[in-house]
Amino acid sequence: MRKSVMPPRFRKASPRRLAIERLENRVLLDAGGLAVWLPGAATDLGELVFYRDQHVDLSGGDLSYEFRAAHDAILAAEASSASGSRATIALFDAEGNLLAEQEGPTSRIDHDAVAGRRYFITLSGGAADLDLRIANQVGRDDGDTLPIFGSPGDDVFEIASSGLEGKVNGIAYTFTPAALSDPPRDRMRLSIDGGGGNDTVQLRGLGAELHASPELVAFVSMYYEADASRITYVHAYGEGDGDIAYLDGSAGQDKLKIEPDYDHVKLIGSGYTLRAKFFERVVVDTGEREDLARIWDTASEDRLFFQPGQFQFLSQAGWDVRAAGIESAIFRSTLGGADRAILQDSPGDDLFFARPHKSIWSGPGFDLTVRGASFIEVYSTDGGCDRAKLHGSQASDQFETLGRNAGLSQTGGTFTPLYAVHAFDWVKAYAHGGEQDVCALDPDAAFETVLDGQWTEVSKEELTERLLQDGGGFF
């Protein structure tokens, strides 16, 4: 900030006027005949979009600020004191005419400013802990769209689900209802331009539909619609039935996070974050680079359907997330429920490497890690020479083959299927020293079978009798 050259002196007049003159480096406030002396020259804020000073101290005297309005928009000025100290905030035009004034522990004035015009704000009252905000950011409703302007710094835009209230950098605004606008509209329309800086927008709505990318955000709800550009952080909240979000990634590497424990889906890339919270359905396209996905489970039963480049996550808890453009993904099943993963192959040569606690499905241009799922089923139907390495547990296991299918499960009191693979070219089963590791092999299986470790081979009849005791079996 710079100190201004003192403007010409304004003569005292009625109604109240601001008289500013160069006199021993002081500013003179003439209030209806009562002279109040302010130390120093007015602080020149230049072209103003938003200004904040959280530590204004008037104990040494009153302060004044001068600036030019950047937009044809509301000029809002707010001074608040955490301790409850009272202060007076006043707005003057370039001729020294009083335009607005308020006094209290929280003082707020609003004025319909004109772009390029010069204004003065004065603070008085002796408070030592004021938080001052001055904003020229909420424009005039032209009958179609209400514009909201960002500053060169980091802004925060918040729109309530009603579309009638919002906050810009902590300053609250009330908007004209759509039905009362001229002409009347079916819903409020807002257009937000973040300007410079790393800006944040928070949008809430009933029956919401979100389309968000690093370049543009479009949000439609029951009561309002909004678009936003040049935004770094997008936080959208669905608050009704049937909410849906579409998230698009960047040309660079993106990371997708599905976190039901936080009720949100996040897409993160260089210079942006898109977050959809409480949406019933989310559709994601991350683009064409080496994009990543991290998927966490719910406490209910979940299903992950995966094929190279895309997947769908479904849950009895109501989640439905679909994603395309994914090269690498991790699915973590940690919260309980009988979670399952159903996997599809690529046209190339793929490998399924499975252990009870962690399995990896990989091939040309993709890889998926599944941790803790109750059961994984894999299909090899799109070509290539696909192989499966199936590791058992340290408990009793059984391995079965039939036709084009193979499966491995835990036994010994209860039957717990671990993995099943279909139409693979080569399958290897590993025993890890369980008390009763048995296998039943189909001599006419349509793939090569390899055994590793101490397996006891039994007939189908023997296996069936054994499974009747454990209550299960694959084939």
Task: List, as one string, the DSSP characters of 424-449.
Answer: -SEEEEE----TT-EEE--TT-SSEE
Q: Which of 135, 160, 176 is the last residue of a domain?
A: 135
- Cα dist from 82 to 39, 131, 234, whole Å: 24, 8, 30
Residue 208 lies in a domain: no
Calpha distance 215→229 (Å, rounded) = 6
pLDDT computed for residue 24 by the predictor: 36
Q: Which of 69, 100, 135 is the last residue of a domain?
A: 135
How many domains in the chain? 2
pLDDT computed for residue 8 by the predictor: 34
**What is the Cβ-side half-sphere exposure of residue 271, based on CA atoms within 13 angstroms?**
10
Tell me: pLDDT of 2 over 50: no
Residue 13 lies in a domain: yes
**What tokens appear for 432 in the block?**
């890890």
Percent of the chain scoring above 90 in pLDDT: 75
Band (pLDDT 50/70/90 cuts) for residue 475 is low
Region 283-297: mean pLDDT is: 92
Region 407-425: mean pLDDT is: 90
Calpha distance 208→321 (Å, rounded) = 16
* Other Cβ atoms within 10 Å of 82 Cβ, number: 10
Q: pLDDT digit string (tens) for 374-404?
A: 999 999 999 999 999 999 998 889 999 999 9
Bridge partner list, 378: 343, 421
Region 316-329: mean pLDDT is: 94
pLDDT computed for residue 472 by the predictor: 54
Q: In what order do the strands lie in the sheet with 63-69?
A: 2-3, 43-48, 63-69, 118-124, 87-93, 98-104
Contact 10, 4 (CB under 8 A): no
| Dihedral angle computed from the Cα positions of residues 11, 17, 19 and 20, in that order, rounded to the nearest 10 degrees | -130
Higher per-residue pLDDT: 339 or 7: 339
Residue 323 lies in a domain: no
Higher per-residue pLDDT: 475 or 263: 263
Structural domain containing residue 457: 339-475
Calpha distance 136→127 (Å, rounded) = 25
Residue 296 lies in a domain: no
Those residues with Cβ within 8 angstroms of residue 469's Cβ, 6 or more apart along the chain or in another chain: none
What's the CATH number where 46 sits? Answer: 2.60.120.380
Average pLDDT over the chain, rounded to an integer:
88
Tell me: pLDDT of 252 over 50: yes
Tell me: pLDDT of 22 over 70: no
Q: Verify cis geometry, omega within 30 degrees of 0, for the bond prior to 7.
A: no
Contact 381, 423 (CB under 8 A): yes
Band (pLDDT 50/70/90 cuts) for residue 435 is confident
Residue 349 identity: D
pTM of the entire structure? Answer: 0.85
Band (pLDDT 50/70/90 cuts) for residue 32 is very low
Q: What is the three-class DSSP state of 69?
A: strand
**What is the Cβ-side half-sphere exposure of residue 154, based on CA atoms within 13 angstroms?**
4
Place of tokens 């004191």: 81
The answer to which of 110-114, 330-334, 462-466 has the lowest mean pLDDT is: 462-466
Tell me: pLDDT of 357 over 70: yes
pLDDT computed for residue 295 by the predictor: 97
Calpha distance 48→56 (Å, rounded) = 18
Q: Which of 112, 135, 158 is the last residue of a domain?
A: 135
Tell me: pLDDT of 25 over 60: no
Band (pLDDT 50/70/90 cuts) for residue 3 is very low
Residue 449 lies in a domain: yes
Tell me: pLDDT of 5 over 70: no
pLDDT computed for residue 69 by the predictor: 98
Q: What is the three-class DSSP state of 460?
A: helix
Residue 370 lies in a domain: yes
Calpha distance 443→455 (Å, rounded) = 16
Q: What is the three-class DSSP state of 466?
A: helix
Tell me: pLDDT of 460 over 90: no
Residue 43 lies in a domain: yes
Tell me: pLDDT of 143 over 80: no
* Other Cβ atoms within 10 Å of 179 Cβ, number: 10
Tell me: pLDDT of 468 over 70: no
Tell me: pLDDT of 42 over 70: yes
| 261 φ, ψ (degrees, to nearest 5) | -60, -25
Residue 59 lies in a domain: yes
